[in-house]
Amino acid sequence: MAREANTTSANIFPCLYYRDAPAAIDWLCRAFGFVKRMVVTGENGSILHAELSLGDGVIMVSSCKPERGWVSPLDLPAVNQVISVFVPDPDAHCARAKSAGAEITDDLRDEQYGARGYMAKDIEGNHWYFGNYRPGRYWSS
């Protein structure tokens, strides 16, 4: 049986690692509005590979693989990245995240470059910026 292709116009796909990947997937869907596209489970309920989408964007989620150096932010001494995600209505998105218990680290604000957004942490400490910013729209050379 042929399978319909899941296509996206995005070309960068962050891969995030969690100690409790199943819980993280459920939380990301509930708090930030991601939708499960695919989840491949391994032994003892671990996640070998998962794809979650939000609009045209896709992230991949997996259980930690410490033997490869791929660990949760809980295992790191400092922030190593911020994932920036376009959302058309940052105010509504922030309200959803707050109602799901997300830790808002930077409240909603209008940025100097014309965008509006906020920052939050997920349940294992990944930092996220959600706003109506699309890189390349505000700067000209």
Domain ranges of the chain: 15-131
Homologous superfamily in CATH for domain 15-131 = 2,3-Dihydroxybiphenyl 1,2-Dioxygenase, domain 1 (3.10.180.10)
Q: How many residues does the chain have?
A: 141
Pull the structure tokens for residue 17: 């690692």
Q: Give the pair of three-digit tokens for residue 57.
A: 């964007």
- For the chain, the C-alpha Rg in angstroms (whole number) is 16
Q: How many CA atoms lie within 13 A of 27 on its CB side?
A: 17
**pLDDT computed for residue 20 by the predictor:** 98
Which helix (H) or strand (E) segment is 81 a member of? none
What the block records as the tokens of 58 is 């896709």
CA atoms of 135 and 133, how far apart (whole Å)? 6
pTM: 0.86
Q: Is the pLDDT of residue 3 over 50?
A: no
Please compute the mean of the pLDDT values over residues 37-52 and round it to a whole number.
Answer: 96
Write out pLDDT tens, residues 7-30.
Answer: 566 778 999 999 999 999 999 999
DSSP element (H, E) containing 41: strand 35-41
Report how far Cα 95 is from the mean position of its chain's Cα atoms: 16
Distances (CA, A) of 65 to 17, 21, 39, 118, 134: 8, 11, 17, 30, 32
Q: Note the pLDDT of residue 113.
A: 85
Torsion of CA 22, 122, 12, 69, to 10 degrees: -70
